[in-house]
A and B are shown apart, each in its own frame.
Chain A
Amino acid sequence: MSTTTLPNAAPVDQTPAPAAPPRRTRGRGQGSRVGSLVSHAILIVASFAALFPIAWLVFLSLGPDKDDYLHPGRIFGKMTFDNYTFVLTETNFTDWLVSTLIVSLGTTVIGVLVAATTGYAVSRMRFPGYRKFMWLLLVTQMFPVAVLMVPMYEILSELQLIDSYLGLILVYCTTAVPYCAWLLKGYFDTIPFEIDEAGRVDGLTPFGTFARLILPLAKPGLAVAAFYSFITAVSEVAFATVFMLSDTKYTFAVGLQSFVSEHDAQRQYMAATAVLVAIPVSAFFYLVQKNLVTGLTAGGTKG
Chain B
Amino acid sequence: MTVAIDRATGKRRGEPDPRRGGRLQRLKQSYQKYWYAYAMIAPVVVVLGVLVLYPLARGLYLTFTDANSLNSARTIGVNEIEATYQWVGLDNYADILWGPTSYDRFWSHFIWTIVWTVLCVTLHYVIGLGLALLLNQKLRGRTLYRLILVLPWAVPTFVTVFGWRFMLADSGIINSALDSIGLPSPQWLEDSFWQRFAAVMVNTWCGVPFMMVSLLGGLQSIDGTLYEAAEMDGANAWQRFRYVTLPGLRTVSSTVVLLGVIWTFNQFAVIFLLFGNTAPDAQILVTWAYQLGFGQQPRDYAQSAAYGILLLSILIVFTSVYRRWLDRNEQSAI
Residue numbers of A with Cβ under 8 A of B are 1-6, 8-10, 12-13, 17, 22, 25-29, 31, 36, 39-40, 42-43, 46-47, 49-51, 53-54, 56-57, 60, 69-70, 72, 114-115, 117-118, 120-128, 131, 133-134, 136, 138-152, 154-155, 170-171, 173-174, 177-179, 181, 185-186, 189, 193, 205-207, 210, 231, 234-238, 241-242, 252-253, 256-257, 260, 267, 270-271, 274-275, 277-278, 281-282, 285-286, 289, 292-294, 296-303
Contacts and interface: CB of A to CB of B under 8 A. Distances in A.
A237 B159 contact: no
B294 A149 contact: yes
A298 B216 CA distance: 11
B156 A235 contact: yes
B37 A121 contact: yes
A275 B259 CA distance: 29
A147 B55 contact: yes
B183 interface: no
Contacts of A300: 1, 4, 214, 218, 251-252, 255-256
Interface residues of B, number: 125
B208 to A, nearest CB: 8
B147 A286 contact: yes
Contact of A174 (B36, B51, B131, B139): B51
Interface of B: 1, 3-5, 7-12, 30, 33-34, 36-38, 40-41, 43-44, 47-48, 50-52, 54-56, 58-60, 62, 67, 130-131, 134-135, 137-140, 142, 145, 147-160, 162-164, 166-167, 169, 171-173, 205, 209, 213-214, 216-218, 220-221, 226-227, 229-231, 233-237, 239-240, 242-244, 247-248, 250-252, 255-256, 259, 262-263, 265-266, 268-269, 272-273, 285-286, 289-290, 292-294, 301, 304-305, 307-309, 311-312, 315-316, 319, 333
Grouping DSSP codes into helix (H, G, I), strand (E, B) and loop, the B interface class, with mixed when no group exceeds half, is: helix
Contacts of B157: 235, 237
A21 to B, nearest CB: 10
Contact of B158 (A12, A72, A147, A237): A237
B252 A122 contact: no
B54 to A, nearest CB: 7
